[in-house]
Amino acid sequence: MYSTDVEPDGDDNTEDAEKSLRERRPTNTNKDELLQLMQTTRNVRRAWIAKQQPTITAIHDRYPRLLDMPEAVCIHFLFFTV
């Protein structure tokens, strides 16, 4: 299963994943890949939100798939209950 540890600093893979998430819109053919990228960025995203307390606009700008992929939101909050 997935780790629930929070890692405050990202690496190049995380930065690349965030860039892909910002630049690519979800389609039927790339949805699974985008969900995997959301998983890749989860620990950094959680640490950033907890530490910086960004606005909803800032969260949307950095992670736009949270707005247009309901599955991404479900997966993100699933880890709060595990």
Type of residue found at 19: K
Q: Is 28 or 80 the better-scoring residue by pLDDT?
A: 28
Cα R_g (the chain), whole angstroms: 12
pLDDT tens, position by position, 36-67: 999 899 899 989 999 999 999 999 999 999 88
- What tokens does 67 get? 């707005």
Q: Structure pTM?
A: 0.74
Q: Is 73 or 36 the better-scoring residue by pLDDT?
A: 36
